Chain A
Amino acid sequence: MKFAVIQFPGASCDLDLYHAVTDVLGEKAEYVPHHETDLSAYDAILLPGGASYGDAVRAGALARTAPVMEGIIGAAKDGKPVLGVGNGFQVLTEAGLLPGAFLKNRDQKFICRTVKIQVVNNRTMFTNEYTEGEDLEIPIAHGEGNFYCDEETYSRLKENNQIVFVYSDGNPNGSVGDIAGLVSEKGNVLGMMPHPERAAESILGSEDGLNVFKSIVKEWRESHANQA
């Protein structure tokens, strides 16, 4: 299975994602620059955290205008797994691939620490290796992680089981419904503020994030079993 790790200027978690997928999981990955438009060679797309374009205008606002978005939107339409972590999540909302938007953290501060999140929905291509209700310890690192959507959107997210992760031991940033991660209506686009790639090996203090990547691989292997 081949992952694309998108590189926007200013993003900083691209190497961590690459490391998790290749060195830890043993899958293939390639860096894809922001000016590329064709992502047809890849089975899954990863949008890293960091501060693309220095967070100018708004986090993710400039990245959504990059040529590579065309390929990302195409991959999402084709049903390929698209995962955005941190700033990657912000880019996905800016691009309209996920609903809602981000505000500054409730307490105005950039927060970088490990938090507890709970798996609310394990029937997605990103969470099938978890059990429902499982508690995970995964770091967050963001200044604008305060997910916002209007009430109507929130009810729709709940109804469709699109909320995948919630903060389970205090809400660090003030997000609506304690949302830490959510999927698109079709279920193949996941945005999450916690960084699973920073919790993918015991040497990093937690392996709780690794199953996000394992789930993607498992789903892909199952759906491609006949072609293998």
Chain B
Amino acid sequence: MKKANVYVTLRESVIDPQGTAAINVLHAKGHDNVKDVRIGKYIELTIDDTGQDLDTAVREMCEKLFVNTNVEDYRYEVLEVEEA
């Protein structure tokens, strides 16, 4: 079994309305050293390891479903996991 962990965030050029709201609160609470907050999504995919090229498959799943590349960036890691 393999596990792909996908991290989706808004692109740098896009204002993150949730991040903006959160940083205002953090500053009000005295966390003045926080310079930026980007709030995103974390997706875990558990995948049967059939020896196929997982990079291509994960990228396709991201770009066709999980990520809107107009506004979002993503990165992922593929890990080996023990059979449950």
Contact = CB atoms under 8 A, between A and B. Distances in A.
A108 B21 CA distance: 8
Contacts of A146: 17
Contacts of B21: 108
A115 interface: no
Given A103-B71, A149-B70, A57 B65 contact: yes
B17 A105 contact: yes
Interface string A57-71: 110011001000000
Contacts, number: 35
A65 B65 contact: yes
A100 B70 contact: yes
B68 A101 contact: yes
A174 interface: yes
B17 A94 contact: no
Nearest to B64: A65
A150 interface: yes
Interface of A: 57-58, 61-62, 65, 93-94, 99-101, 103-108, 146, 148-150, 174
Interface of B: 10, 13-15, 17-18, 21, 64-66, 68, 70-71
